[in-house]
Amino acid sequence: MPGPYRASRYDIADIVRAHRPALESLCALSASRKRVLTDIAQCRTEKLGGHRDRCTQCTFERPVYNSCRNRHCPKCQGLAQERWIEAQRARTLDLAHFHVVFTLPAELRQLTAFAPRVVYGLLFSAVADTLMGFGERRFMATIGATLVLHTWRRDLAYHPHIHAVVTAGGLAFDDRRFVRSDPDFLFPVKALGKVFRSKMLAALWDAYRAGDFSGFTAFEDPQGFATLINRLPKPSWYTYAKRSFGKAEHVLQYLGRYTHRVAISNSRLLDVTQDRVTFRTRGDGTATVTPVEFLRRFVQHVLPKGFHKIRHVGLNASAKRRTIAASLLGIRDTPRAALTWQQRLLLTAGRDPTSCPHCGAPLQGLPLLESARARAPPPHRSAA
């Protein structure tokens, strides 16, 4: 269970409010990236409205502003993660799972940044087809998998890859038995990488012929696309796999962290000044960049509007066959009472938003006062 809530000393929203004009003077931002920056800057401020909490027993009172609920906002993912985990309980079979990672080679990053909706979609399809194909050939069965797109490294560099959490076995084609995998081995990773590479290259060629990359400067040369393809690694692309989970609850908690993680959280900020931002990377490592460079790296990871970064395939996409698999495995569904957002906040952050932090008495919600509105940050002039 998470420990008590601790407010972060630094806030990405402050960096956005202070340095967004400088960022926009250096590079053009898409409408979706502007929207994300605007939402982050306004999140939990008077701009989005709110109310006052007043204690019914003592003199405690505080303004409470609404959240932006943008999926890229570092302050809006905790409750969303818990809601998602709760909704996925019926979708996740209570058996061992493997964690498999598929990564695009560096040579394709520039093209991906140019046409993210196209390339991300092809990446999902290639990963799904690769996993399902291996399940069919190795087990003569349909496996289940949940795929999650990430686009960053810990230093915020652009690094598109997919995390796949895969069932350790699958439902036989005749729906009469569940075929379990070896507990320590799912698929040979080098073979996975070769098939993934082949499927992705074929999909890229199809997209190129269909004109999906029209306007990409490197392809103005008729041989530009073929040149790019020939520069790609030949043997197999990087694929990583490990057995990570033995129970559905572990799978859900792990998946929840991946599905609702944003490029960087406020808690990773170590120092913020007018000239630099220092943040944690991996382990004890840190990175220091200018605030504008920090924002430039951050907006790289804004997904296309309406693009789904979580996909379910195989058993995870079929309620009927998943129910059959659960029956064969002897798994019984244990319904849980739905939690309110207040209960989720108490569970995840150790805070009870309905009780006074001083005396524990119930809080009463009232309209905001003008004095509370005056404390909000000034509006940003840039249009979203």
Q: Angle at which helices 78-88 and 248-259 pack, to 10 degrees?
A: 140
Whole-number Å distance between alpha carbons of 172 and 224: 45
User: Beta strand 141-152 with 178-180: parallel, antiparallel or unpaired?
Assistant: unpaired
- Same-domain status, 115 and 236: yes
For the chain (384 residues), the mean pLDDT of every run of 10, in chain order, is: 55 97 96 97 94 94 92 84 75 89 96 98 98 98 95 96 94 97 92 96 98 96 96 88 77 75 92 97 95 98 95 95 94 65 61 87 86 49 40
Name which of 72, 158, 55 is nearest 110 in CA terms.
158
Same domain, 126 and 252: yes
State the pLDDT at residue 381.
43
295 within domain boundaries: no
Q: Number of structural domains, the chain?
A: 2
In a domain, 251, yes or no: yes
Q: Are 44 and 65 in contact (CB under 8 A)?
A: yes
**Claim to verify: residue 105 and residue 199 sit in the same structural domain:** yes
The C-alpha atoms of residue 24 and residue 279 are separated, in whole angstroms, by 23
> Does residue 7 fall inside a structural domain?
no
Residue 99 within any structural domain of the chain: yes
Per DSSP, 107 falls in state: G
The answer to whether residues 61 and 178 belong to one domain is no
Joined together, the tokens standing for residue 362 give: 């119930």
- Same domain (yes/no): 120, 250: yes
**Taking the mean position of all CA atoms in its chain, how far away is CA 181?**
28
Q: Which pLDDT belongs to residue 1?
A: 36
297 close to 156: Cβ distance less than 8 angstroms: yes
User: Per the domain annotation, does 281 fall within a domain?
Assistant: no
Q: Are residues 225 and 197 in the same domain?
A: yes
Tokens describing residue 104: 């695009």
Q: Identify whether residues 146 and 217 lie together within a single domain.
A: yes
Cα 227 from Cα 31, distance rounded (Å): 32
Domain range for 43 is 12-72+351-374
Polymer length in residues for the chain? 384
**Domain match, 66 and 205 both:** no
Report which of 253, 319, 245 is spatially closest to residue 94, judged by C-alpha positions.
245
- Note whether residue 210 is domain-resident: yes
Helices (H), the chain: 12-26, 31-42, 78-88, 109-114, 116-139, 189-209, 224-231, 248-259, 291-299, 319-329, 341-349, 370-374
The CA R_g of the chain, rounded to the nearest whole Å, is 24
Give 178's strand partners.
Answer: 171
Residue 164 belongs to some domain of the structure: yes
Judgement on whether residues 248 and 143 belong to the same structural domain of the protein: yes
Which residues have a Cβ under 8 Å from the Cβ of 152 and sit 6 or more positions away? 158, 159, 263, 264, 300, 301
Quick one: tokens of 237?
Answer: 């692309």
Could you tell me if residue 340 is inside a domain?
no
Same domain for 200 and 67, yes or no, is no
Residues 6+ apart with CB under 8 A from 92: 146, 248, 251, 252, 255, 316
Residues 53, 112, single domain; the answer is no
> For residue 80, what pLDDT is reported?
72
Do 356 and 232 lie in a common domain?
A: no
